[in-house]
Amino acid sequence: MVGMWKVRPVVDWLIAEGRFRRSPADLAQALCERLVAAGAPLWRLRFAPRVANPLLRAWGVTWRRDDEQAREYTVGHGVDRTAVFIGSPFQYVIERRVPFRRRLVDLDPQADHSALHDVAADGGTDFLALPMVFGDGAAQGISFATDRPSGFTTCDIGALTSLTAYLAPVVEVLATARSMESLLRTYLGNDPAASVLAGAIRREDVRTIEAVVLMTDLRGFTAKSLAWPAEDLLAALAGYFEVVCEAVAAEGGDVLKFVGDGVLAIFPVDETRDAAASARAGLAAAGAARQALQALNADRAAAGQEALDFVASLHRGAVTYGNVGSRDRLDFTVIGPAVNVASRLEVLCKRLGIFGLASESVAALAGAPLVPRGAHELPGIAAPVAVFEVGA
């Protein structure tokens, strides 16, 4: 008889084994395969729980029976103010906390949301969205669709509703882990986040690595902070930080810290990238950030705003990398002589009135000659440091 399939074996698998799946796509794939094998008329599944992230509103998973693998996707902030969400089945179940079911025949072009028309155009015949309530009381949405001509039966809907109650805590664990990982990457950077997630959470969890250190600093920031309205200053900082961070990320580096208007980033030397590659990556990031800032300044000029300028310094050496701080307040950063030299070179850039400087340890590996600017005594550094102009 149509619709008479048993959901209990799938629920038992979810409780015993499925909850240990750490990839949302892997969970969805395994779950849906078992539902189909049990006789469920499932053609498509989708869920998209929210995450605590300043850059994303949610991450989601979608599965289709004719695809090789379930896939993940992300949802940006602001989507809840667009037609994608407003009036959608997901808005309905999240806000009302009740199921939404619609046969995908004779859809009304005006009354029925575009998402339903899209599913119907792909071959779906029936659509079911359910509220998936987490332990904190927040409702998330999950949807099921079938391409069976007769659609879902009452038994199908009851079974999928029962399954959702067991699926919710499993998805909540994944959402919590994804939120933690996402926040750590946002605030610490990719490699530090991976280290913390791997267990490097104690003050003594540090190691010595070789890295190219890049430091940047806005010119005239102190004067700007005194003269500009706070909102203009914050907008300028955001634009400058964005061009630097994007350039560093594009070259495989990690931004570790913002200090006032300064940026501290590293390009580690490891088994995937030798010293020469790290040096070239750091130099490329500095150059790309400078070019991006020129484009930003064109937009600022069109808006009647003052241009921004920054300096950049690079040095290669051993750094202590990991957790530094007190017993109850830690910071994941780098310290050591290499960082000190890079910091002093940054000040020297301003004194010489040039964009950037690299020490000989970086310039020797640049791949193209840099303009020598002599050897300079730097505060706190024992011997004079030979420096080379970047971006001359």
Residue 155 has pLDDT above 70, yes or no: yes
Residue 128 has pLDDT above 80, yes or no: yes
What is residue 80's predicted lDDT score, i.e. its pLDDT? 82
pLDDT mean over 345-349: 94
Residue 215: CB atoms within 10 Å:
26
What is residue 131's predicted lDDT score, i.e. its pLDDT? 96
What is residue 335's predicted lDDT score, i.e. its pLDDT? 84
Residue 378 has pLDDT above 60, yes or no: yes
What average pLDDT does the chain have?
A: 90
Lowest mean per-residue pLDDT among 189-193, 276-280, 299-303, 339-343 = 189-193
Gyration radius (Cα) of the chain, Å: 27
Band of residue 100 on the pLDDT scale cut at 50, 70, 90: very high
Band of residue 10 on the pLDDT scale cut at 50, 70, 90: very high
Domains by residue range for the chain, with CATH: 8-187 (3.30.450.40), 202-390 (3.30.70.1230)
pLDDT mean over 180-200: 71
Residue with more model confidence, 144 or 205:
144
pLDDT mean over 67-81: 87
Maximum CA extent, the chain: 87
Band of residue 361 on the pLDDT scale cut at 50, 70, 90: very high
What is residue 1's predicted lDDT score, i.e. its pLDDT? 43
pLDDT mean over 244-273: 92
330-347 burial, b if ≥16 CB within 10 A, otherwise e? bebbbebebbbbbbbbbb
Residue 200 has pLDDT above 70, yes or no: no
SS3 283: helix
Residue 90 has pLDDT above 90, yes or no: yes
Per-residue pLDDT of 14-67, as tens digits, reads 999 999 998 899 999 999 999 999 999 999 999 988 877 777 778 889 999 999
Q: Over pLDDT 90: what percentage of the chain?
A: 67
CA distance 391 to 358: 10
347 half-sphere exposure, CB direction, 13 A CA radius: 10
